[in-house]
Every structure is written in structure tokens, then in C-alpha cells.
Structure 1
């Protein structure tokens, strides 16, 4: 009960911060969601609140020779209910990133934790995500993420529980792209329920998830042999993998331009 009430209190604080952003920057927030471990489905009780949003300026902003910044960054806020990290991208910038099949943006659009959503705008926006999904770009993003996190965090005598998940999630995202050629789901349980429904390795991951979600963000363990072996084997395989790339039609870009208008 305490945790539920605590989460409701944090959500109220987040709504207040979003309203302040709209007022101070004279923008309208079209979408605001939770990213990071809370959206992935393996948050600890003391996990940060990582809020991301897409916003639009008032019309005069778009008719200036020298346009202003296309991001809003509030900085980290230390709050009694949890650390808040709230940042957003302007609509045009987000569409430019969508053209590039930016995985972070595409994950935002899947987040199960939504604080605000302008349905009239976002229903049309989301239609473009499948069109602009580029398997190779997303695959390479997740491979690089897994390699970097493995190198930085797992090659130690003591490893933070969450760092295993920060390597496993992009590995399974790559496997998803290999098998389905679509954007992987943001929620970790959907990845492993499909790709690893049972078995000894799944049992190890389930235990890891349970410990991580019950413990703190900084809890450490000795290297987990079976997980380490799987990770290192998959990283070697994925580094050699090539994904077929299909060309986008010029009409797809025109449709996206029309949406911005």
C-alpha cells in the first residue's frame, strides 16, 4: 500500500513539473512518458523517475530565421520521493529522429507508463513508426549498447544486478529484430516471454529480476557464470550479424512532412 501511495504522489509531482514546463517555455506537451527501468519493467523501489516528452511551440516560433533550442532539459531534481529526470524533444526534432529510426524515440512511443498524451496528434504520429523502422540501424544501436555496457560494468569482481539487465535487454532486442524484423517491445518480460519462455537460463534471469526489483539500485553480486557465458557468446555472434535493409519510399517522407504541417 505504501509503495502504491508513494507512486501516486510522485505522479502528482511529475504532472506539476510538466505543467510548469508548458507555462515557462510556452509550449504544449503532446506526449509525456516514463522511460528507463520503470518502463522496461524491472525497477527497484529506489529507481529514478526518467520522464521524456514531445512538445510543440506556439506557431510564431516556427517562423523565425534563427530558431531556438529544440530540446528542453530541466536537469536532475533531487526529490524526497525519488530523483526526477525530465527532458523533452520538440516535435520537428522528434520527426527528424523518427526518419533516422531512432530507437530511443521508438521506445518512448511504446512506454506503458504514460503521463500525458494528445490522442488527436499521437494516433497519427504513431502510424509513421512502422514506416520508418530501419532494422539495421536499430540492430546496431542495441548491439553497441550491449557491448558498451558489458565492457564497462560486467568485467568486474562484483557486478551491480541492474547492469546484467542493461546488457541482456539489448541482446534480446537484437534477437527480436533478427526473428521478426520489427521494433522490439520496450517491456523486458515481453521480450523474454517470446524469445526465452522457459529453461535454465530463463530461471536464472527470473531470479535476477526478482532480486533486482526487491533490492536497491546499487546491490552487487559476484559474476553469474551462466549469464556471463550466454552474454559473451551472444555478443560474439551478434557482432558478425548483418540485417537486411529496405529502402523507404519518397512518399513516406512526404507523409511525415504533411503531418508536421
Structure 2
């Protein structure tokens, strides 16, 4: 099954032509060998988040739909397709049904894929339909708790003992903290921007946080290693304060997917199978 001609493609001019060709070839092989249609293939990770290094991996993630006969079988195929990590290229994807269920549960990863500014291929109706589901039915508190759990895990893993750490790991906690601040200050929105500089610009953090954040981005863009050091106090305080504010603003509670959400998701899923 071949994918329809892609109407979505947005590749930065600085991308390696060789790596771009490698990703395109890997996606074409997946379509051919697994008999799937790829609805959306994007770049995730630091390149899409706005703080790449010269040696950042190419992290392609994609959403796919299987053939109708594969769904109408007692022997269901896996809901992921994984390919070997080669050099600096990592290409893996999720089946549409898996992505929809995670999205409605408040999984921010799926939503970030839909928001990625770097698109290898995709159909507008596929991405727009999933974004419509996210905007209509995503629980913003569940999204916030996703970022909170992610950020606290990174904070406790790398920075708990106040020792010197690889400075590039600061982004692992700083970006979730900034996304949480953005969500807290934009009560009408459920989806925060994926791009970290945009988050900084739109959530009015302390001046020292903005300065240090941009300094780290600029240094990371030109060097493979930022070196190591303790977590700078302004960033430490910002991260801890935002996590504390998020725990108060977005308390843990059971999340139930509404019948309206299930109905709309099922209708979209069936429409993609028909297409």
C-alpha cells in the first residue's frame, strides 16, 4: 500500500540532505514492507523543540494506518513499528488507534508530534483531524500532569544531589517546567507550543530564566558538549516553583474519556480507514 502524495512537508534548510534522503528512504521501506499508510511523519526531539546540537539525532516519529483486512483479523498486528537505530537516525511509529487512545488520555507526546514544525510527509486531513480531536476533547489537566511527571522524573534523576551534571540535561526539566507555566497562564488552551523559545516568549518567566535559557540554546547550537556544572540557581528555583504551582493548579484525579470523545474518535478512525 503506497501513501498518497504528501501535501505536508516542512524541512529546515540546514538539514543534512544525506540524512533527509535516509529518512525518506526508511519511510518508503516501512510503507512497502509493512503494507501501511503513513498519515504523518515528523521530527521530534531537540531539533523540533528548538534547541538542537551539531550532533543531535534525527528522531523521526510517524503515525500509520494498516490495511482494513489487517484490522478485520483475529491476529492483530503490533500497534508500533520500530526500526533499528543507525548512526544518528532513529525512526519509529505508532498505529493510529494507539495514538488516538493515548491522546484522549492526555498523552502530550502525541500532541507534540502533531505540533512539530518539521514534517517529513503527511496528509493535512490526517493531522488536522487529530488536532481537532485534541482541541475538542483533550483534558488540559491531564496534559499538565504529563509534563509534571516527566519534569519531576528528570529533576530527581539528574539534579537531586546538587552535583555537577551535563548542562544539556537542564532542558529535560526546564522545558516541562516552562510548558507548565504556559498552560497555567493560558487557561483557555489545552495544547502548549512545542518550540521551547516560543514557550519562553509567551509565558513571561523571570528575566534571568530567559537570559540563561537563550544562552544555553545558543551554546548548544554550536558545540557538541555544553560541559557540566551545577544547576544554576535561577533555573533551579524556576523549575521547582513551577512544579509546585502545577501540583496545586492541576491536582491528580481520575480521567475519564467521555462518550462524545469516543464517538468523535471512532468516526475519525473509520474515515481514515476509508481514505
Common topology (TM > 0.5): yes
Deviates more, 1:186-195 or 1:150-159: 150-159
Partners of 2:165 and 2:207 in 1: CA distance:
24
Aligned to 1:237: 245
TM alignment of 1:176-255, pairs within 5 A? 176-181=182-187, 182-196=190-204, 199-217=207-225, 219-242=227-250, 249-255=258-264
Would the aligned equivalents of 2:106 and 2:143 in 1 still touch at CA under 8 Å?
A: yes
In structure 2, the CA distance between the partners of 1:141 and 1:242, relative to structure 1 (3 Å rule), is same
1:170 paired with 2:170, answer no
Partners of 1:236 and 1:124 in 2: CA distance:
34
Partners of 2:244 and 2:129 in 1: CA distance:
39
Partners of 1:188 and 1:32 in 2: CA distance:
21
Aligned to 1:158: 164
Partners of 2:44 and 2:110 in 1: CA distance:
10
Q: Helix, strand or coil: the match of 1:77?
A: coil
CA RMSD of aligned residues (A): 2.3
Would the aligned equivalents of 1:101 and 1:132 in 2 still touch at CA under 8 Å?
A: no
* Displacement after TM superposition at 1:201 (Å): 2.5
Structure 1 portions without partners, runs of 5+:
none
Aligned to 2:8: none
Structure 2 portions without partners, runs of 5+:
1-11, 271-275
* Displacement after TM superposition at 1:15 (Å): 0.3
Partners of 2:223 and 2:15 in 1: CA distance:
17
Deviates more, 1:111-120 or 1:148-157: 148-157
1:75 pairs with 75, 80, 84, which one?
A: 84
Would the aligned equivalents of 2:144 and 2:246 in 1 still touch at CA under 8 Å?
A: no
After TM superposition, what 4+ stretches of structure 1 lie above 4 angstroms from structure 2?
3-6, 243-249
Relative to the length of structure 1, the TM-score reads 0.89
Q: Deviations over 1:19-62 (max 9, x none)?
A: 01111111111100001111100000101111110011112101
* Displacement after TM superposition at 1:222 (Å): 4.0
